[in-house]
Chains A and B, each alone.
Chain A
Amino acid sequence: MSAISLDGFTGGRRARWAELEARTAALSSSRLRGLRAGDIERFATLYRRAASDLAIARRDFPDEAVTEYLNSLCGRAHVLLHRGSAPRPSSALRFFATGAPRVFRANAGYFLASLACLVAGTAAGWLAYDLRPDLRELLVPDSLFNQMAQGAPGVSVPEPFLAAPSIFLHNIEVALVIFIGGLCFGVLSAFLIFLQGWSLGTLGAAVHAGGYDYSFWSLIAAHGVLELSITVTAGAAGLRIGDALLRPGMRSRGDALAHAAEDILGLALAAMVLLVVAGILEAFVSPGTLPGGAKIAIGTGVGACFYAWLLLAGRRRRAIPGLRLDATPEIGLPAGG
């Protein structure tokens, strides 16, 4: 071991550290991508040498201030160098075309569970309306029921250009809360999906009792199919998160959560973007003067496109079974390992 005195150690390296510190400060608010190749190389070289200095300092001068300084300097430079790839429009498009449907199919079970919550809510709402006539006033908002009962086509939308952003931003808010609600072990997501079903069920029962079935369902069909499907998808993402918390498997709970979130976030966001389409339909088509049959046809068509995208897009051609790498069973850790 060469005996280095602290002064000998710092003396020759001081200038390099100062340069790295200056470059780190200049970079920490801007981006590496704007730099020339030579600058990036210089930065990386300085960082690697400082990291090696840190290793030496840890061994030889563990209690000196210079070790703490190098640790802090390397930490700041490390964060700048280790950035994920920046989001690009092309990668977002590719994810939309193939990635999101694949994630959806891989998590189809959660979608079915979320759908079950919605159906249960609808059935419960419908039953509640039928079984407790005394509570009908509470179950269904008065104004909407009256409008329906009078044969009016529901909510009148005077300003579609104001209504569209209001509606889709509100729906995105709801979908986001349903998704993030998964953090409460999935309970909040499931409950909110159930509530969506509940209000659909009570309304459906109310208009059924009034005999306005066709006008009601044709009113909500154009946007409702897509909107409810997206809500259920957001619920599925929430349930996935909740499941990661409840059953983390081989990972720690925190790791399982982060992994599930990274996996499912793209699907949830892609679905929420489509709420813009649903909002535009709700503001421009649903309250319009189109015949009910046309609205139902539009809703069915949009729904069919949505599910065709989720179920068919990005399917890989089937490979020879023996050669599929992704079919290899995971190698488990030895027991107790």
Chain B
Amino acid sequence: MSTGYDRQRVTTADNVGISFRVAGLATRIAAALFDAVVLGCLLFAVTVLIVAIADAAAGTSGGLGAGAVFSLAGLLIGAAWLLVAILYFTVSQMLSGGRTLGKSAMGLRVIRVDGGSAGLSGYFLRSAAYIVDLLGVGFLLMFFHPLSRRLGDLLAGTVVVRERTPVTLVVATAPSPVFLRSGDAGPAIDGLSHLGERELAAVRTFLSRPGLRPDQRADLAARLTLPLLERMHLPTGAPERMWPPELFLERLYLQLAPRFDRGGSHPVQHLGPPPRWGTPP
């Protein structure tokens, strides 16, 4: 099940291990850039508002007072930028359970290292720590940290994980396709009653493996056929023992599957018979 991502393993209260896929540096930066665009628009609006207010105030006080008003406005803009930025990150994560707009876009979420959600203080600390992280510390730390945590993550005890699952329910529960060469069930096989669901599963697993070389497939088939023949208690001269193993397994599957499959039948893909099988007896 290794997908190449670093993982944060969490053990739940029911003692079940859940592993979260940790978001890497590049994805995190992409999400941050997305947020920077949104935040830039917000800061622009705030600046315009403050300048408009200062303009009006300077108009009423006039003269020497105007200079003081504008230096105050400069002070206000500096502080407002920082506080609006922190508020943006904190509030957006609070409202969505750990996802800023950029993180939503990239399918990321902030969680505590124990798998819970971080909460107000956690989101605030992460956001405030941008002051130091953006000096460059954060990038270096994320590059080397096994869970890609920046200072804000360490401070808040959080980690950023990927939420988009590579596997949907439909894919996860879809019956795997079975590759058949002939698709012909052939004559009835004796001794099918000795076989159960496990044998069927073994045959199906063999038949649904794509990408086997012909010699590998023939070899595997031969090794799987022997114990099956034994379990079926077929007599020494039984015709089934003469069939090529791959053909035997296909016919066995086609006759055995209808006995056990409830509803979820596996789709069949026909590969066409290989020439060296010849005509089966």
Contact = CB atoms under 8 A, between A and B. Distances in A.
Q: Which label, helix, strand, loop or mixed, suits the secondary structure of the A interface?
A: helix
B157 interface: yes
Q: Give chain B's interface residue range (CB within 8 Å of chain A).
A: 35 or more
Contacts of A166: 72-73, 75-76, 79
A278 to B, nearest CB: 14
Interface string A263-284: 0011001000000000000000
B117 A83 contact: yes
Contact of A69 (B61, B155, B172, B175): B172
A170 B76 CA distance: 6
A48 interface: yes
Given A68-B167, A170-B78, A265-B124, A14 B173 contact: yes
A162 B72 contact: yes
A146 interface: no
Interface stretch (B14-22, B32-40, B177-185, B214-222): B14-22
B72 A159 contact: yes
Contact of A180 (B18, B132, B149): B132
B111 A79 contact: yes
A80 B154 contact: no
Contacts of B125: 261, 265
A54 interface: yes
A263 B176 CA distance: 53
B166 A6 contact: no
Given A7-B175, A79-B98, A79-B117, A68 B69 contact: no
Contact of A76 (B14, B154, B163): B163
- The number of chain A residues touching the other chain, given as a range, is 35 or more
Contact of A183 (B14, B64, B155): B155
A193 interface: no
A307 B201 CA distance: 75
Contacts of B96: 28-29
A21 interface: yes
A51 B115 CA distance: 14
B83 A173 contact: yes
A75 B20 contact: yes
A87 B197 contact: no
Interface in A157-171: 157-159, 162-163, 165-167, 169-170
Nearest to A68: B167
Interface of B: 1, 3, 10, 12, 14, 16-20, 53-54, 57, 61, 64-65, 68-69, 72-73, 75-76, 78-80, 82-83, 86, 95-98, 109, 111, 114-117, 119-121, 124-125, 128-129, 131-132, 137, 149, 151, 154-157, 161, 163, 165-169, 171-173, 175, 197-198, 200-201, 261-264
Interface of A: 3, 5-8, 10-11, 14, 17-18, 21, 28-29, 48, 51-52, 54-55, 58, 62-76, 78-80, 82-84, 86-87, 155-159, 162-163, 165-167, 169-170, 172-173, 176-177, 179-181, 183-184, 188, 241, 253-255, 257-258, 261-262, 265-266, 269
Given A68-B166, A173-B82, 18 more contacts: A7-B262, A51-B14, A51-B18, A52-B16, A68-B3, A78-B12, A79-B109, A79-B117, A159-B57, A162-B57, A162-B73, A165-B76, A167-B75, A176-B131, A183-B129, A253-B154, A254-B154, A265-B121
